[in-house]
Structure 1
Amino acid sequence: MAGKRSYQDGCAAAHALQLVGDRWALLVVRELLLGPKRFTDLRNGLPGAAPNVISQRLRELEASGVVRRRTLGPPAASKVYELTDWGLELEPVVIALGRWGSRSPSMLHDAPLSVDALVLALRTLFSPAAARGLTGSIGLRFGLDEFAASVSDGQFHIERGDAAAADATIVGDSATVNEILWGERDLDDAVKEGALQVEGDTGLVRRFLELFPLPEPAALAD
């Protein structure tokens, strides 16, 4: 925290912004919400941020107790960054901020997303009403990133991990899934073009992709 400007304001929101309000800070947090990452993984998830900026934000977040470093056990033995228990409490903040931002009339919903940002967007936009009567498990494989999702009784759960036992699996890249969810791309067209593969129950995948509607855009003042 040394050297950082203070708002000189006793409001806890002002203090929170001093901790995580710098450019890229909350996006570093976003990239760590689904589990620890190496520095190179963070760079891949934040291609618009210069490496020295990411390093600076990590140092600041570590100094404030939001992030910590640790070394993985053998055979990996690599250093990773992860959120502390207190840092993980930022997930509902990131989710709420994402939902608020998704209502912006100027939001480009088909713009590029990191893999983790896409998964968090699913958590953000899941509609229990749209999922009524649906039960199933869906795997998402984006290269080396794999996630296991499940829907049951209007509840949605997704986490990083093996989805080998899923009822259906989506294999491809996050950009294509993003375009199908909130762009103009059709699932069947993406499969025919080889941009996406569906393993297992295609009907379940089609229904799954309908569970994340965009909220109504905010009305702007005249």
Structure 2
Amino acid sequence: MAAREYGQYGGITRALELVGERWSLLIIRDLLVGPRRYGELAAGLPRIPSNILAARLKELQEAGVIRRAPRSRIIVYELTPYGRELEPAVLALGAWGFKALGDPRGEQLITPDSMTMDLRTAFRAQVAAALPPTAYAAHLGPTELLIRVEGPSLEVSRGAGPADLAFSAGHDIRRLISGELSPTLAIASGVVDVLHGPGELLDRFASTFRIAA
């Protein structure tokens, strides 16, 4: 750890010494979605070299941020309670970065965990609390997510399931979430394709998930 010390005393400095290395926060982001095996972490971060992934996991364990845990005869990595305290900071950083998103470059991917955390970042619990429970089946490029909203609670899981509204979209879904496009224009322009269910429910989705630019 000494090689990454900044020579300053303070909370932000210490936080950066613990989680500021390249890839560390993305590992934490994915573990905020849920425990992951080593191979699942590698698959969710396809450009990380295996030696760097191993090094980051070791460093985060030594810092008390993550731990190895047995699950049905396999080993998974999960956040410790101390590590989970990073969630508000990660969500706030995600909201800040969302405002600077442009179109993705050709090699950039939307992963299930990255999209899940973007949805959690954009979720407006106070708005959702006043709306009826709703389930959305979202096909976002190669990622398929089932999004369940019930009151102020949000649950996002991979795969298909019963939904009130099913829709498909690409990276331009950010234009709906940012408010750049209204739901009506998102459908009319082809940014969002309603697969089944009333298209009016996209208004509810856009009200529930919003990060103002």
Q: TM-score range by the shorter chain?
A: 0.7 to 0.9
The equivalent residue for 1:10 is 9
Give the aligned partner of residue 120 of structure 2. Answer: 123
- Report the CA distance between 1:33 and its aligned residue: 0.2
Matching residue within 154, 171, 181 for 1:157: 154
**TM-score for the superposition, normalised by structure 1:** 0.72
Cα distance, 1:16 vs. partner? 0.7
1:210 aligned partner: 206
5+ residue gaps, structure 2: none
Task: Tell me: CA distance 1:84–1:130, structure 2 relative to 1, closer, same or farther (3 Å).
Answer: closer
Give unpaired runs (5+ residues) of structure 1: 217-222
Give the letter for the 2:117 counterpart.
L
Cα distance, 1:125 vs structure 2: 1.7
CA distance in 1, matches of 2:76, 2:113: 16
Matches within 5 A, 1:172-191: 176=169, 178-182=171-175, 186=186, 189=190
1:28 to partner: Cα distance? 0.3
Counterparts of 1:42-191 in structure 2, within 5 Å, are 42-73=41-72, 77-104=73-100, 107-108=101-102, 112-127=109-124, 131=128, 133-140=130-137, 147-152=146-151, 155-160=152-157, 164=161, 167-168=163-164, 170=166, 176=169, 178-182=171-175, 186=186, 189=190
1:71 Cα shift? 2.1
Cα offset, 1:156, TM superposition: 4.5
TM-score, structure 2 as length reference: 0.75
Residue 77 of structure 2: SS of its match in structure 1? strand
1:91-132: CA deviations, max 9, x gaps?
Answer: 10100111111223xx22656322111111112123467658
Q: CA deviation at 1:25?
A: 0.3
* Fraction of identical pairs, as percent: 30
Deviation at 1:163, TM superposition (A): 7.8
> Does the residue aligned with 1:41 lie in a helix, a strand or coil?
helix
Q: Residue 5 of structure 2: SS of its match in structure 1?
A: coil
**Gap change, CA 1:159 and 1:84, over 3 Å in 2:** farther
Q: Distance in 1 between matches of 2:149 and 2:56?
A: 34
Q: 1:133 to 1:70 in 2, by over 3 A?
A: closer
Q: How many residues align?
A: 199
Residue pair 1:180, 1:187 contacting (<8 A) in 2 also: no
**8 Å contact from structure 1 (residues 140, 169) kept in 2:** yes
